[in-house]
Structure 1
Amino acid sequence: MALLLMLAGMAIVLWAAWTLNLPRGPLYLWTLSSLCAIGLVYMTIRCGWSRNFKDPSLTLQQMALAIACSATGYALTGPVRAIAFPNLMIILMFGMFGLHATSALAISIYALLVFGLSMAVMASISPDIYPPTVEWAHFMMLVVVVPAVSVLSGRLSRIRRRLRQQKEELTVALEQIQLLAAHDELTGLLNRRHMQVLLEQETQRSLRSGEGFCLALLDMDHFKHINDRHGHAAGDAVLRAFSNTAQTVLRRSDVLARWGGEEFVLIQSGISMSLARATMDRLREQVANMELAFGDDFLQISFSAGLTTYRSGECATQTLERADRLLYDAKAQGRNRVVAG
């Protein structure tokens, strides 16, 4: 956009010079040098070299270059030199959304110095075309307008930073909400709602690929007794300990969720029943060997589980019901065991 605006401004300047028979040699040189400068900036950005700078858009550098070109154009256009002022305002507006308040103030002072120098030089060289009184009036108007634009830029910069901070805070809050929506707060595992979605997805994937998966329903043994004797804090500690141990034993591709209370559901994809059973037994042994200190007591925990495979054509509920029946069998056979079927 900056390049297009500069081209349009140069076209207007050249048209005015042609119409008013202004000296064209200096204007042609000004046009060529300005095009080369802005073209160099454009290529620096497009080629990725500008990424080495703090501001890859080179906003401050582009503005400084454009202001210098505009002030030089002011000195070359004589009777129509006032067309440089709207161009200067457009240049300063570019910095409203890309500069901090201090940078906006610095570029405003730079603009006043460059234009003031251009006006002073031309008033001394060609006072008939650049009357000192008129140039002084032009400069005073810039002294009023340019700092005002700088102040506005500073305010917009603060608003932009505040909005960016609010956006970052909202992003963090959204991530936390999504985490809470999908995970159990106590154990950090997936919750039942999210696990139901994953289970349906796994069922559909299995139908498409023909590759089944193993599903286990786990239940902590004598959990009610732990709560009754030691309190719910002890029960919570047991659930967290089981969760932490399970995550060290299971594969990364395995999905474990808290199904409710002391029940958990485990999905193991791309694995045979024998390997799934071996994983479950290894987890059971690790949990059974744990000793949790709670007050003066040491709690030993275990779990029972029903393990099954998904059968093509059935729904997820049917697979879960079969795992539940196998879990009931594990409880009936004395607990602390895995029954597969």
Structure 2
Amino acid sequence: MNLAPTHPKATTALLALAIIGLVGLYTAVPDLRDAALPLLTLVLMGGLFSLRPREVRILAGATMVLLALAVIALWRLDSSRFDPIQEGLSALMVLAMIPAVGFAVQGFAQRMAHAEAERQALTSALADMSMAVTCDPLTGLYNDRHMRECMAQEARRCQRAGTPLSVGVMDIDGLRRFNEQLGFDVGDQALRLWSQTAREVFRQTDVVGRWRAEQFIVLFADSSTEQAALGIERLRESLSQRHVGHLPCPAFSAGLVDWPAEEPIDAVIERACAALRQAKSEGGARCVVGSRDAALPT
């Protein structure tokens, strides 16, 4: 029996009405007195699971007072038909059960609340552990190990679907100089700003990770290099309008390549890094699309 609606205040009001009604029924209808007393206990048992301990005590106490007043009133007003000994014993049993039920339910509610708190703490700890294993602590992006796992999964998916896949490696221009002149705290702000902006600009299907100290890798799902280059330019435009403190956000260079299904992960990353080195050698702040047959340094 569960009379409790969702809202705690509504639960309390509903139970109070039910208790008043049952005590009134006990007082007014002699033939239903034997049924009214157990129902009082059932109402408390059925609805108190969602209440706070203080509300449990108030309702249990109010029920005891109302029932005691009803017995006294019946004894004085209708003593000829009211057997004070029999009815008093029945009421006494209920009066004894009500606090017991109240404390039992209160204890159950406290144990449930404790178990729920432990469950939430465990869930939070597991989430923290998962983030520590898969994410970079400074930027919140995937770390290089998890990025490799994501790349392998996405490559298999695109191969099955027959859709294009592109990989970009990006490097913040002049971040080392930024750190030397302004301090590592400012450099960390630049890294966090880049990461936050990348999450906002790139699609939900694109996977972004921190690759090395000042490098990032992006997996552009279902995208040719032409489509991925448009996303990189959107990121560049968005960053150009943002600041680290009072300074403009530093620019970045990018190397972008397509990823044919048969190419190993390390090979495609090396091609993207070669394109990135070319972008750096040409002055930075640009994106270079690498070719599949580009000569890679040994």
When normalised by structure 2's length, the TM-score is 0.71
Q: Of 60, 64, 72, which aligns to 2:15?
A: 60
For 2:79, what is the secondary structure of its paired residue? helix
Q: Is the 8 A contact 1:95 1:104 kept in 2?
A: no
Number of the residue aligned with 1:310? 259
Number of the residue aligned with 1:139? 91
Q: Of 91, 100, 117, which aligns to 2:70?
A: 117
Task: Give 1:91-240 correspondences, 5 Å limit.
Answer: 91-108=43-60, 109-110=62-63, 113-114=66-67, 117=70, 121=74, 124-126=79-81, 130=83, 132-228=84-180, 230-240=182-192
Higher relative contact order (CA 8 A, sep 6+): 2
Q: Is the 8 A contact 1:74 1:84 kept in 2?
A: no
Number of the residue aligned with 1:263? 215
Could you list the runs of 5+ residues in structure 2 that have no partner in the other structure?
292-298
The 1:125/1:117 distance shift into structure 2, 3 A limit, reads: farther
The 1:327/1:144 distance shift into structure 2, 3 A limit, reads: same
**Alpha-carbon deviation of 1:211?**
0.5
Q: Is the 8 A contact 1:60 1:99 kept in 2?
A: no
Q: Structure 1: how far apart are the matches of 2:45 and 2:6?
A: 23
2:276 matches 1:327: yes
Deviates more, 1:161-170 or 1:215-224: 161-170
Q: Is the 8 A contact 1:254 1:268 kept in 2?
A: yes
Q: Structure 2: how far apart are the matches of 1:335 and 1:164?
A: 53
Aligned-partner residue type, residue 312 of structure 1: A
For 1:259, what is the secondary structure of its paired residue? strand
Deviations 1:21-76 (CA, angstroms, capped at 9, x unpaired): xxxxxxxxxxxxxxxxxxxx7xxx9xxxx668855799726963895599489943
For 1:211, what is the secondary structure of its paired residue? coil
**Alpha-carbon deviation of 1:146?**
2.3
Q: Is the 8 A contact 1:304 1:335 kept in 2?
A: yes
Task: Give 1:244-259 correspondences, 5 Å limit.
Answer: 244-247=196-199, 249-259=201-211
Q: Structure 2: how far apart are the matches of 1:231 and 1:51?
A: 53
For 2:137, what is the secondary structure of its paired residue? coil
The 1:101/1:248 distance shift into structure 2, 3 A limit, reads: closer
For 2:49, what is the secondary structure of its paired residue? coil
For 2:188, what is the secondary structure of its paired residue? helix
Aligned-partner residue type, residue 139 of structure 2: T
Aligned-partner residue type, residue 110 of structure 1: T
For 2:191, what is the secondary structure of its paired residue? helix
Aligned-partner residue type, residue 63 of structure 2: Y
Deviations 1:101-143 (CA, angstroms, capped at 9, x unpaired): 344344433366348636964873535xx4x233333334443
Deviates more, 1:97-106 or 1:170-179: 170-179
Q: Structure 2: how far apart are the matches of 1:148 and 1:293?
A: 63
Q: Structure 2: how far apart are the matches of 1:253 and 1:161?
A: 39
**Alpha-carbon deviation of 1:212?**
1.3
Q: Structure 2: how far apart are the matches of 1:293 and 1:84?
A: 72
Could you list the runs of 5+ residues in structure 1 that have no partner in the other structure?
3-40
The 1:263/1:194 distance shift into structure 2, 3 A limit, reads: same
Aligned-partner residue type, residue 323 of structure 1: A
Larger radius of gyration: 1
Between the two proteins, what is the percent identity of the paired residues? Answer: 28
Q: What is the alpha-carbon root mean square deviation over aligned residues? A: 4.3
Number of the residue aligned with 1:35? none
For 2:288, what is the secondary structure of its paired residue? strand
Q: Structure 2: how far apart are the matches of 1:286 and 1:259?
A: 21
Q: Structure 2: how far apart are the matches of 1:276 and 1:92?
A: 63
Q: Structure 2: how far apart are the matches of 1:337 and 1:156?
A: 64
Deviations 1:155-179 (CA, angstroms, capped at 9, x unpaired): 4444444444554555555555544
